[in-house]
Amino acid sequence: MMGPGQGERPETAEGPWPAEGTSERRSSRSGATLAVGAVIVDRSGRVLLIRRGRPPLAGTWTLPGGRVERGETQEQAVLREVLEETALRTRWVAPLGCVTLSAEGYAFDIHEHLLVPVDPGAPLRAGDDAAEVRWTTPDELGALGVGAPAVHVVALGLAAARARDLVGDTTR
């Protein structure tokens, strides 16, 4: 989470997120671009990743997400970005916090969100900024070269999913 004066948002009943229906700014007070990211988990605890097709960090495996467009809420933006990059329809569950990332001349304040698939068996298709898309287990993140900030956010997302009984025994 960011500290005071670093693009933080006013508190709402749900936490440091805008009230439903409010429009989003395209950049934060820090000058970084306002963005969203998604930790999408299925019932078995797998996480959906994309391989970036464009800069910054082209070729790396990471979480789906992107810029918040003018007039969008973060929830609308994260659902749109996931659909554009993976062809997967998802349901928003909870905010996970904010990560500020700078790479290759870009700076983003990425507001991370926990999502679940509407249809876990739906086919995946890479699109927009994504060159590839795949489900993976948390144990595979290191081998895929997923960066430490994304690994940390995945851990937060899985903990939040477990607390909500969204991850568990699929044979029940």
Q: Which amino acid is at 115?
A: L
CA distance 110 to 73: 13
Is 112 catalytic? The answer is no
- Length of the chain, please? 172
Residue indicated by tokens 């969100």: 113
Asked whether 135 and 39 are in contact (CB, 8 A), the reply is: no
Contacts of 83 (CB under 8 A, 6+ apart): 89, 90
Which of 72, 84, 132, 140 does the annotation list as catalytic?
132
Q: Which residues are catalytic?
A: 132
